């Protein structure tokens, strides 16, 4: 059986990618099985009788009757359960889909919108006209942490067969077809339960956009604000 993992930060479109891949007849793709917030009625390490992440993962493998099986492993799950990263590191044949969002500022604002609205995905509704205020000092610290977390995930991915895809490419059938071929299956027409939540541009979403841009302008993160326009 081909095993794979989606490595990413939160708010990178991973639920959409997981849903797409899980719709393929030859793939089972679980969600955040190592999240401490896994739904009580679904797969999840915290809902199981297992005490070891590796043993739980092998249990998931045994439940699958398809040739390809994988799961999402965002950075917050790794921080909650460090052994989940070690089970990836200990299996050099495990294939890694390295999903990322090139604009970390947009990703950060998506996180704040999620925290403000309590809406994680489109099945729960939409953001409508929601706006957020971004503390500029917090934003700098958060962007630095996100940058370090991306480097950590890259380090974990580099010792594995790895396919990289960007958040912006998830709507590109050709790029999603490349992911399927990377996993060793014939590309099929996939479907997802999820849609993009934020429709408004960032400068209309952030209440103190001008202040945020001015703070970031002379930092290495300044280009994110320019690219967001």
Nearest C-alpha neighbor of 212 from the set 140, 117, 114, 150? 140
3-state secondary structure of 229: coil
pLDDT of 226 strictly over 50? yes
Residue 224: per-residue pLDDT: 94
pLDDT of 189 strictly over 70? yes
Residue 127: per-residue pLDDT: 53
Q: Name the CA radius of gyration of the chain, rounded.
A: 18
3-state secondary structure of 149: helix
Residue 114: per-residue pLDDT: 84
**Residue pair 101/165 in contact by the 8 Å Cβ criterion:** no
**Per-residue pLDDT reduced to its tens digit, 81-127:** 999 999 999 999 999 999 999 999 999 998 998 887 756 554 444 55
Residue 125: per-residue pLDDT: 45
Q: What is the pLDDT of the chain when averaged over all its residues? A: 91
Residue 122: per-residue pLDDT: 43
**pTM tops 0.95:** no
pLDDT of 222 strictly over 80? yes
Contacts of 207 (CB under 8 A, 6+ apart): 131, 132, 133, 134
**Report for 7-16, 124-133, 141-150: range of highest mean pLDDT:** 141-150
**Residue pair 93/167 in contact by the 8 Å Cβ criterion:** no
pLDDT of 201 strictly over 90? no
Q: Measured between alpha carbons, how far is 104 from 100 in angstroms, rounded to an integer? A: 9
- Pick from 2-6, 10-14, 190-194: least confident: 190-194
Write the CATH number for 111. 3.40.50.300
**Residue pair 90/156 in contact by the 8 Å Cβ criterion:** no
Confidence of residue 41 (pLDDT cuts 50, 70, 90): confident
Confidence of residue 55 (pLDDT cuts 50, 70, 90): very high
Q: Measured between alpha carbons, how far is 101 from 177 in angstroms, rounded to an integer? A: 19
**Domain span including residue 181:** 2-228
**Per-residue pLDDT reduced to its tens digit, 123-145:** 444 556 788 999 999 999 999 99
Nearest C-alpha neighbor of 100 from the set 35, 39, 209, 17? 17
Percent of residues in the chain assigned helix, strand, coil, to nearest 5 = 45, 15, 40
Residue 116: per-residue pLDDT: 79
Residue 199: per-residue pLDDT: 64
Q: Are strands 27-30 and 162-166 parallel, antiparallel or unpaired?
A: unpaired
**Residue pair 109/182 in contact by the 8 Å Cβ criterion:** no
Number of domains comprising the chain? 1
Integer angstrom CA distances of residue 39 from 42, 72, 132, 197: 5, 15, 27, 21
């Amino acid at each position: 059986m081909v095993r794979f993992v989606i490595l990413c930060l939160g708010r990178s479109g991973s639920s959409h990618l997981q849903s797409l891949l899980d719709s393929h007849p030859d793939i089972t793709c679980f969600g955040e099985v190592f999240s401490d917030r896994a739904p009580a009625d679904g797969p999840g390490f915290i809902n199981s009788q297992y005490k070891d992440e590796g043993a739980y993962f092998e249990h998931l493998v045994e439940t699958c009757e398809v040739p390809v099986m994988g799961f999402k492993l965002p950075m917050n799950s790794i921080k909650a359960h460090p052994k989940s990263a070690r089970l990836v590191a200990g299996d050099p044949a495990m294939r890694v889909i390295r999903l990322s969002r090139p604009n970390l500022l947009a990703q950060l604002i998506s996180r704040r919108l999620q925290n403000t609205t309590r809406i994680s995905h489109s099945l729960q509704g939409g953001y409508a006209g929601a706006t957020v205020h971004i503390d500029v000092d917090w934003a700098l610290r958060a962007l630095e942490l996100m940058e370090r977390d991306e480097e950590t995930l890259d380090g974990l991915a580099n010792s594995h067969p790895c396919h990289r895809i960007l958040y912006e490419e998830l709507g590109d059938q050709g790029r999603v077809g490349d992911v399927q071929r990377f996993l060793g299956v014939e590309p099929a027409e996939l479907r997802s339960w999820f849609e993009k939540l934020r429709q408004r541009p960032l400068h209309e979403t952030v209440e103190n956009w001008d202040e945020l841009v001015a703070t970031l302008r002379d930092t290495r993160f300044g280009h994110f604000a320019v690219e967001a326009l």
